[in-house]
Amino acid sequence: MTPDQEMTEQTRWMLAVRDERDKRAFVALFDHFGPRLKAFVMRGGTGPELAEEVVQEVMLSVWRKAHQFDPTRAQVSGWIYQITRNCQIDKLRREKRPLPEMIEEEADSGPDAGDIVALEQESAHLKQALHRLNPEQREMIEKAYLGDLSHTEIRRITGLPLGTIKSRIRLGLERLRHELKSMREI
Amino acid sequence: MSKISHHLPESVLAAYAAGSLPYAYAMVAAAHVSMCAECRAIYEAHQCAGGLVLDDMEGMAVSQNTRRQLMDSLDLEAPPEPPAPRAFGVYPAPVAELLGDGGPRWRKVGGGVRQQILHYDDAGSIRLLSIPPGRAVPDHSHGGLELTLVLQGSFSDETGQFGCGDVEVGDPDLEHTPTAGEEGPCICLAATDAPLRFRSLVPRLIQPLLRI
């Protein structure tokens, strides 16, 4: 099996949207994430109408900002999660969320499919770990990532086994830094 | 860049990824993550975890109307995206964006120390401080958490030495006298969620004027 076939279908859809502006792949992404997004936003206390507005806005950003998607640093759900939280904060709190400086890669510097699959495998492990938690712990994790815990309360969730994901992402960042460095040297 | 030795606590990075940090702290987190690959990896790992929570949600049907409107808007020309903010001098992109063109507009606050308040609201304040070499910021403690990120030069206080990219995490019970290193002016980005309390009378009197 080639690494390409081992990628999750979400990643393949997202890469088709990013690289080929494939609308069918976008519809598939929408059918997967749209309903989950709506549930996620409503869980945070937003009414159904505004929630649909957020879903629409987030998915439109997914289409328009697809070039920013880097599968060696985020799985699709994590990338969409970030867009969603930015959108919610801009919309509901009416403040612009401070974001880190962007490190964008050149379009033609395709990352290694092995790196993509490796990050996906790590998130699959984390997902299994989340499923093994007891219901109270699960609820705490959910509340934390919905943004319902304060930064002092959130200390309680930092025991998550994120170690290997972190090192995977760090590898992705190092690759980018290396590319940027060689670009500057040209 | 590789010499950063004082990082943000993981709980702060997790809260930043989850979008639950007050604005002032989020600004320091954005600036530090811009400078520190290690903390950026932790921040992005928490985004991955947030994504798993999203992916685990039991879906709720989205209306056909929303779906149709979305599909129709794919072909619309996107409004021009504002250019991604860029770093300016020692200021990482998120700080440079807040500063606007032309860099900081410093105001003297005594003892050669200068500051610019970047943002101030009920939830806290964020400001830039410029401390001349070898000088100290008046002895103070604070009601809440204080995050101080070094953008240029260095400072040291009772808890240690902080160089470019380092963050000091000041708990409510920390009373400290940060003193800039001799190598040059120290520029810091400082966020608090409560007014600073100075120990001596004079700074306490002028504190309302400083709005810190």
Q: Could you report the per-residue pLDDT of A87-104, keeping only the tens digit for each?
A: 998 887 777 889 999 886
Q: Which of A89, A151, A155 to mutate to test the interface with B (most CBs of B within 10 A)?
A: A151
Sheet architecture: strand order including B167-170: B107-110, B113-121, B124-131, B186-192, B146-152, B167-170
User: Which pLDDT band, with edges at 50, 70 and 90, does B80 fall under?
Assistant: confident
Contact B143/A at CB under 8 A? no
What is the pLDDT at residue B194?
66
Task: Say if the Cβ atoms of A158 and B37 lie within 8 Å.
Answer: no
Q: Can you read off the two tokens belonging to residue A100? A: 């880190």
What is the pLDDT at residue B206?
57
DSSP A72-132: TT--HHHHHHHHHHHHHHHHHS-SPPP-PPP-PPPTT-PPPHHHHHHHHHHHHHHHHHHHT
Q: How far is it, in rounded angstroms, from Cα B133 to Cα A65?
A: 44
Q: Has residue B100 got a pLDDT over 60?
A: yes
What is the pLDDT at residue A94?
74
Min Cα distance B135 → chain A (Å) is 31
CA A164, A165, A166: angle at the middle one, nearest 5?
90
Q: What is the β-pairing status of strands B124-131 and B186-192?
A: antiparallel
Beta bridge partners of B136: B179
Residues of A in contact with B14 (CB under 8 A): 144, 154, 157-158
Between these two residues, B131 and A110, which has the higher pLDDT value?
A: B131
User: Which pLDDT band, with edges at 50, 70 and 90, does A186 fall under?
Assistant: very low
User: Which pLDDT band, with edges at 50, 70 and 90, does B19 fall under?
Assistant: very high
Between these two residues, A172 and A46, which has the higher pLDDT value?
A: A46
Q: Has residue B198 got a pLDDT over 70?
A: no
pTM, to two decimals: 0.89
Q: How far is it, in rounded angstroms, from Cα B5 to Cα B84?
A: 28
Residue-wise pLDDT tens digits, A5-29 = 589 999 999 999 999 999 999 999 9
Q: Has residue B210 got a pLDDT over 90?
A: no
Beta bridge partners of B125: B120, B192
Report long-range pairs for B60-64 (Cβ below 8 Å, ≥24 apart).
Answer: B60/A35, B60/A38, B60/A39, B60/A42, B61/A35, B61/A38, B62/A34, B62/A35, B62/A38, B62/A52, B62/A55, B63/A52
What is the pLDDT at residue B2?
45
* Contacts of B79 by beta carbon, 8 Å cutoff, 6+ apart: none
Radius of gyration of chain A (CA): 17
Q: Can you read off the two tokens belonging to residue A45? A: 């206390």
Amino acid at B95: V
Beta bridge partners of B2: none
Q: How far is it, in rounded angstroms, from Cα B12 to Cα B130?
A: 25
DSSP at B92: -
Q: Which of A31, A82, A121, A141 to mutate to test the interface with B (most CBs of B within 10 A)?
A: A82
Weakest-pLDDT range from A54-63, A127-136, A174-183, B99-108: A174-183
Q: What is the β-pairing status of strands B155-157 and B196-198?
A: unpaired
Domain A128-185 has CATH 1.10.760.10: no
What is the pLDDT at residue B141?
60
Q: Can you read off the two tokens belonging to residue A59? A: 């998915």
- What class, spelled out in words, does domain A9-102 have in CATH? mainly alpha
Residues of A in contact with B126 (CB under 8 A): none
Residues of B in contact with A82 (CB under 8 A): 17, 47, 50-51
Q: Has residue B154 got a pLDDT over 50?
A: yes
Q: Mean of the pLDDT values across residues B63-74?
A: 96
Locate the chain B residue with the closest alpha carbon to A42.
B60
Min Cα distance B117 → chain A (Å) is 16
Task: Say if the Cβ atoms of B54 and A81 lie within 8 Å.
Answer: yes
Locate the chain A residue with the closest alpha carbon to B20.
A147
Min Cα distance A67 → chain B (Å) is 13
Q: Candidates 2.60.120.10, 3.40.1440.60, 1.10.1030.10, 1.25.40.10; correct CATH number of B99-210? A: 2.60.120.10
* Contacts of B72 by beta carbon, 8 Å cutoff, 6+ apart: none
Between these two residues, A121 and B197, which has the higher pLDDT value?
A: A121
Q: Which of residues 15-44 of B touch A (CB under 8 A)?
A: 15, 17-23, 25-27, 29-31, 33-34, 37-38, 40-44
Give the residue range(s) of CATH 1.10.1740.10 domains in chain A. Answer: 9-102
- Of residues B11, B54, B58, nearest to A158 (C-beta): B11
**How far is the CA of A65 from the CAs of A68, A89, B202, in angstroms?**
6, 18, 52
- Of residues B47, B62, B87, nearest to A82 (C-beta): B47
Weakest-pLDDT range from A19-23, B112-116, B137-141: B137-141
The highest-confidence range among A120-124, A125-129, B55-59, B193-197, by mean pLDDT, is B55-59
The highest-confidence range among A144-148, A166-170, B202-206, by mean pLDDT, is A144-148
B130 neighbors B150 (Cβ within 8 angstroms): no
Give the residue range(s) of CATH 1.10.10.10 domains in chain A. Answer: 128-185
Weakest-pLDDT range from A98-107, B29-38, B135-144, B188-197: B135-144
Q: Can you read off the two tokens belonging to residue B195? A: 């007014």
Residue-wise pLDDT tens digits, B31-63 = 999 999 999 999 999 999 999 999 999 999 999
Beta bridge partners of B197: B141
- Of residues B18, B60, B73, nearest to A147 (C-beta): B18
- What percent of chain B has pLDDT above 70? 88
Residue-wise pLDDT tens digits, A139-158 = 889 999 999 998 888 887 76
